[in-house]
Amino acid sequence: MASSIDSHMTESTADSESESFSLTDDEIINSILDILARTAPEIRNGLPGRRVKTNEENPSGESPMEADVFADELLRNRLGSLDGIGEYASEERSSADDTGSGLSVCIDPLDGSSNLKSNAAMGTIAAVYDAPLPARGSDLVAAAYVLYGATTTMVAAVEGNVADYIIYQDGSYEPIEQEVRVPSEPTVYGFGGRVPNWPRDFNSFVSDIESDTSMKLRYGGAMVGDVNQVLTYGGIFGYPALTNAPSGKLRVQFEGYPIGYIIECAGGASSDGSQSLLAVESNDIHDRTPVYVGTPSLVERLEGALAGKADSE
């Protein structure tokens, strides 16, 4: 059983937080992924007693769950104290924390936390940039998400390769699949937002998808869970621009960039409706964007539909 990404790539750097010598970006990235894996069981075990909302308001204008705050503080303390991390930003914080010099980390501590009461899937999303925040999609050097499902897993994209890991209760982990690819034959789809608020062109595209009897609806209310379905079975996930939220709901820095990066590294496609998510402009860490990811043929069809072009398979 492995306990570090480095046992599959280089030598472990799990204890590098306390080392004073200069670390390479690869070593820092490996340490970040190690921390995500080691912290995952603690986050999962801390959920049962934190299933209620706080009296606070986060930058999105929402009242976070106690579990959101717990996960954020745990990750902030560990990632923020890591040598080679210059900034830590979270969906739960209005601005990025200056933690020294080096790479920038953006965290969605508990994606899908509204699923907590119903005991459905949730996750943690991490983006690592080699530039100050707000960064560009081209500044990404790694991205990962942890999925708290029937088992705890981590999908990580580093140097253009995507790997899937199982995380054990003691924080150790080992690969399930070392070269994850989006299947070319799509079988699942899932779209967020209220249907009455979907734009007409998007609604028409969804109707076309639903008319295909080979496609199965898979939408669980947590982006990481829905994206993992697409990564496993092929298909498309989307959270569109809405009539009451024309910029979309999902955040560029915390969700759009890292999920787009993971899917593209796995041979899939990402889009904001007209271009790759990695090409989206972002001037604030809490900027939002429509998000579409999945099998390239479906993402291309989606872009054509939103551009008003007739669908052609």
Residue 216 in marked binding region: no
Residue 53 in marked binding region: no
d(CA 220, CA 160) in angstroms, rounded, equals: 28
- Contact of 74 with 92, CB cutoff 8 Å: no
Residue 256 in marked binding region: no
d(CA 130, CA 6) in angstroms, rounded, equals: 20
Residue 111 in marked binding region: yes
Residue 83 in marked binding region: no
Residue 113 in marked binding region: yes
User: Largest Cα–Cα distance of the chain, in whole Å?
Assistant: 59
Backbone angles phi, psi at 202, to 5 degrees: -70, -40
Residue 219 in marked binding region: yes
Residue 249 in marked binding region: yes
Residue 255 in marked binding region: yes
Which residues sit in the known binding site for substrate? 111-114, 219, 249
Which residues sit in the known binding site for Mg(2+)? 91, 108, 110-111, 255
Which residues sit in the known binding site? 91, 108, 110-114, 219, 249, 255
